[in-house]
Amino acid sequence: MYVCSCFGITEAQVKQHAEEGAGTPRQIASACKAGTDCGGCVRRIQALLGRGACPRRELLDRRAPALGRLDDAA
């Protein structure tokens, strides 16, 4: 199945690059250009790498502060 239709990169190719040491979407992009054109495949690449969740986004969805309040630091 294609992950990146812009460059014709498949799931198998992304997984192969990951096995060879590419652990981030940026490293996958360096290896095969996937994610560097329209960017529509970056989330799928993140999911294949086991990085689908965004902790900061989850905090925002729960309306919890992503960063501590300034007056908490004092």
What whole-number distance in Å separates Cα of residue 74 and Cα of residue 69?
A: 10
Q: What is the pLDDT of residues 33-54, one digit of tens each?
A: 999 999 999 999 999 998 755 5
Sign of the alpha-carbon dihedral angle for 55, 19, 40, 33 = positive
**Residue 29, class by beta-carbon neighbours within 10 Å (0-12 exposed, 13-18 middle, 19+ buried)?**
buried
Q: Given a cut of 90, is residue 66 above it in pLDDT?
A: no
The residue that leads in pLDDT, 24 or 71, is 24
Global pTM reads 0.67
Q: What is the mean pLDDT of residues 62-70?
A: 55
Task: Report the pLDDT value the prediction gives residue 67, as an integer from 0 to 100.
Answer: 53
Q: Given a cut of 80, is residue 62 above it in pLDDT?
A: no
